[in-house]
Amino acid sequence: MKKFNFRKVLDGLTASSPGSGSSSGINSSGGAGSGSLHPGGTAGALREEIQETLTSDYFQICKTVRHGFPYQPTALAFDPVQKILAIGTRSGAIRILGRPGVDCYCQHESGAAVLQLQFLINEGALVSASSDDTLHLWNLRQKRPAILHSLKFNRERITYCHLPFQSKWLYVGTERGNTHIVNIESFILSGYVIMWNKAIELSTKTHPGPVVHLSDSPRDEGKLLIGYENGTVVFWDLKSKRADLRVYYDEAIHSIDWHHEGKQFMCSHSDGSLTLWNLKSPSRPFQTTVPHGKIQREGRKSESCKPILKVEYKTCRNSEPFIIFSGGLSYDKACRRPSLTIMHGKAITVLEMDHPIVEFLTLCDTPYPNEFQEPYAVVVLLEKDLIVVDLTQSNFPIFENPYPMDIHESPVTCTAYFADCPPDLILVLYSIGVKHKKQGYSNKEWPISGGAWNLGAQTYPEIIITGHADGSIKFWDASAITLQMLYKLKTSKVFEKQKVGEGKQTGEIVEEDPFAVQMIYWCPESRIFCVSGVSAYVIIYKFSRHEITTEIVSLEVRLQYDVEDIITPEPETSPPFPDLSSQLPSSRSLSGSTNTVASEGVTKDSIPCLNVKTRPVRMPPGYQADLVIQLVWVDGEPPQQITSLAVSSAYGIVAFGNCNGLVVVDFIQKTVLLSMGIFDLYRSSELYQRQPRSPRKNRQFIAGLTELNDSPVPLELERCKSPTSVKGSRKLSLPTDLKADLETRENSYNRSRSSSISSIDKDSKEAITALYFMESFARKNDSSISPCLFVGTSLGMVLIISLNLPIADEQRFTEPVMVLPSGTFLSLKGAVLTFSCMDRTGGLMQPPYEVWRDPNSMDENEKSWRRKLVMNSSSANQEIGDHQYIIICSEKQAKVFSLPSQTCLYVHNITETSFILQADVVVMCNSACLACFCANGHIMIMSLPSLRPMLDVNYLPLTDMRIARTFCFTNEGQALYLVSPTEIQRLTYSQEMCDNLQDMLGDLFTPIETPEAQNRGFLKGLFGGSGQTFDREELFGEASAGRASRSLAQHIPGPGGIEGVKGAAGGVMGELTRARIALDERGQRLGELEEKTAGMMTSAEAFSKHAHELMLKYKDKKWYQF
């Protein structure tokens, strides 16, 4: 624990923070103050010591867990004994799923797409084949899987892999049609190769194409079935190294599957047909069917259909076999969705899917291929979903998915993260949300139930909120690194449904998704929830456990500014209350105006983008709309989208702004308190600071009077655009775009900002970028705190607006609220991002809030209950005293001011070459710190109030605007962002959580005995006994087959050796893992030693031979003959 004295720290600012000496803070009198202590009335207080407990040892960046559906999936595998599922993706990622809580993400370093996955069943290992023709062996006996071996093919491309159950030899088919064999234990290529020209008949003149299937016969493991793309199937005898039989078909083959007896196999073809072949008569198919083809007359060929991409043929002991396939629909049904067909006896069931099918697997009771399979479920991997179908019921219901695979049900447009929130919230939200869950799921337990997971030591409640393009809001329980859906809110239900052709009106402000959520603000203590959308609206929700039917109250606000007003002088003589009707012919009163909808035929002026429902609306328990505020069109120009939003439940006020101005609304009395352009905010602030110097009329405003400006200039700010529209988002995927964006921002930063009206640049795109309600000192040298609204702009200016609220609780519902600019200006370099406040002891002050009570309660006592407000709460629970500290962070720098003296105490120039995307003041180990995410990928943590750098890590280069839009920090060292359109990546910057992460993650492998094979008596020894393993060793081992050419494939040792052991769980499994890898390494060393020994023996034999020859040569010679 270290104590810092303000004066001592400030003395070293020049040395510790470059540029801080030249940084300045602007006080209310317009003068510049340096970044050092200023003597004055609060000098004694400033000398007081603030105890800062945070050091750099508290911080470390670490990814924790990834939630959501794997983006762009390509492969699927299932371990029937461990009951875990693996999904591979196009970006080289692998997600391994088990029971809820067991969810592991791992990534190939190359980033190559995963072609195929194969579990070593009940062995705790996984083989992946990548598009860069590399095989990888993953160790799953540790909580974070690691690669043990890799094998890179240099000459041939991998197309198919097959690993028989309880075998250590992996069959690998290639694009050239050859089949290679890899030893899984050593990951060395065997010298045994099945060449394509040996497999096919010599008379065949064409190449059979790539290998599309490999599988050993269930009846005899010494026989291998090889399927080629052109329709050729070869039944290869591994012992005699020749083909026992060959099958030819006119249509290309996509997949093959065996009957469990090993006498028949089924093929799926490109013409939508299924062929069943019998090994006794390979000359023609035993049966040919086109399941979805039209029935033709006798003698005519069946109608061709779409290709059947995969078929599985699974037998049952007490019923007809299941034939399950994807594709194969008729071409005349082009509009039909992708489907999975289940044929069971004479019944054919077609399951239509919402997305294209990538892969499917049938889950069976036994891992042995030569037993009745008894299928019980089908896992279907779609492009954007994962579903599991229950085969044990005739109507084939789907299982309820326990994983959060529907995050992307509608594209995510914004996120919010709350750690250590009130513990009762999760239960309350779940109890409301569970009533709206879909019905009709299978009543059986989720079949993917492998692994083990414990709750862990970290149990504080966490909630993640996601906003979506369709206007929906989802609340998620994120406690203990899991994610579970709690409650879903549809904001679009507030508005009328758009009729066909009406979308063009909204389309001029946003091309698509008119209900897309842009910003969300949630107060967990008061349960007030506020949302803003891309169609320039704000909705305030209140939480209730009771259903009500009521009309939705709405306000329409006309917000604009006139740049020419600033340049053109006007007479100073004007009435104190200007005639609004003369300035705005189509304006309407905004104080308490409700449900005003423009009629048809009216030009686009003073009409909103969306129509609020005017009829009474039934609102179920949960969040219920209390007020809708909409910005309206002005003289044919659409309203600009909202860029900042803040709500105070204690004050009953909501404030929001855009690049036109600021709006402040009293949501208790449903009235507009302030609607003013940005430039008018500066002018109005000057009225309270000094006499007006501008030769224009003095515009006064009083409580309840809304100032409306005319003659709009359509200025658009890049960050105001739709988060889902291509044209409406700032693309940062290319470095050139980043550079141009930086240059634009630098030009705006270098533009000096004077408090004089005449210096305001008419071409500057200044917007309201940050809002903050707080009990603070509104003016310089105020003696007491009062309700304030801090307003930050895109040009780095900070204005403080004073809020005069009625003192008595009863008067709050009737007396007007006074909104008065205080005349205080502060400035920073770059757009203002966030505010926060600390008391004199360094404790973080929380904004005041109202304790929640049900607004629709039937209890008479609760109805008469007065508003209970919690004011001036701080983490230290201390009185605020005579001063406080305001922390302001912009896109370029952070400053700490002392209020009410407005002295700049600390300045830290965070970045010069980039800009900050997200900044938040968070609590870490009961102390406050400033967390920043920069566009160059750096995550930075600074202590407060001294702004000492605690952490600076180059973590995540910004390659997509989606990351900038969704990145957010929260308390207790947590953060998240949308890593792909379908996945949320959570991370921690807490050293403590990094240390405890191993205990929080689930175990992928648990010790389970392999089920015994069915007793088949004498046949067991002939058709599947353990003797086959020795046959494989004799056939493929180095002693008989030799080694493959080194140029064919290159063995690459993986990093999953000792490093993997360090990450493995403790106890018996950790010891087993350590012993296994040690044995593997010992085997490698013994092999190397054996090679060296053999080389030395050969050298010794050669030396002995030469010595013997030399001895014979000179044996009979005398000494004088030499």
What's the pTM?
Answer: 0.81
Q: What whole-number distance in Å separates Cα of residue 785 and Cα of residue 929?
A: 24
Judge whether 1053 and 149 are in contact, CB under 8 Å: yes
The three-point CA angle 945-949-952 to 5° equals: 140
Comparing CA positions, the residue from 101, 56, 64, 54 lying closest to residue 974 is: 64
Helices first, then strands: H and E counts in the chain: 18, 67
Residue 603 pLDDT: 64
What is 907-968 written as a DSSP string? EEE--SSS-EEEEEEEEETTEEEEEEEETTSEEEEEETTT--EEEEEE------HHHHHH-E
Residue 905 pLDDT: 93
Low pLDDT (below 70) residues in the chain: 1-49, 296-301, 333-335, 456-458, 499-511, 561-603, 686-765, 860-865, 872-881, 1015-1031, 1056-1085, 1087-1088, 1116-1122
Quick one: the chain helix, strand, coil %, rounded to 5?
A: 15, 35, 45
Burial of residue 412, with CB atoms counted within 10 A of its CB: 0-12 exposed, 13-18 middle, 19 or more buried = buried
Q: At residue 880, what is the residue type?
A: I
Starting from the edge strand earliest in sequence, which strands make up the sheet with 983-990, in order?
Answer: 59-68, 983-990, 974-980, 968-970
Alpha carbon 767 to its chain centroid, in Å, reads 29
For residue 900, say if its preceding peptide bond is cis, omega within 30 degrees of 0: yes
Q: At residue 1053, what is the residue type?
A: P
Residue 1103 pLDDT: 82
Region for residue 335 given its phi and psi (left: phi exceeds 0; alpha: psi -120 to 50; beta: otherwise) = alpha
Residue 161 pLDDT: 96
Residue 728 pLDDT: 36
Q: What whole-number distance in Å separates Cα of residue 382 and Cα of residue 360?
A: 9
What are the angstrom distances between the C-alpha of 607 and each of 506, 950, 1093?
A: 11, 50, 90
Comparing CA positions, the residue from 72, 212, 77 lying closest to residue 140 is: 77
Comparing CA positions, the residue from 296, 295, 347 lying closest to residue 321 is: 347
The three-point CA angle 708-714-716 to 5° equals: 115
The answer for residues whose C-beta is within 8 angstroms of residue 861's C-beta and 6 or more apart is none
Q: What whole-number distance in Å separates Cα of residue 183 and Cα of residue 188?
A: 5
Q: Tell me the two tokens of residue 135.
A: 């095989």
Quick count: other Cβ atoms within 10 Å of Cβ 383? 16
Residue 596 pLDDT: 37
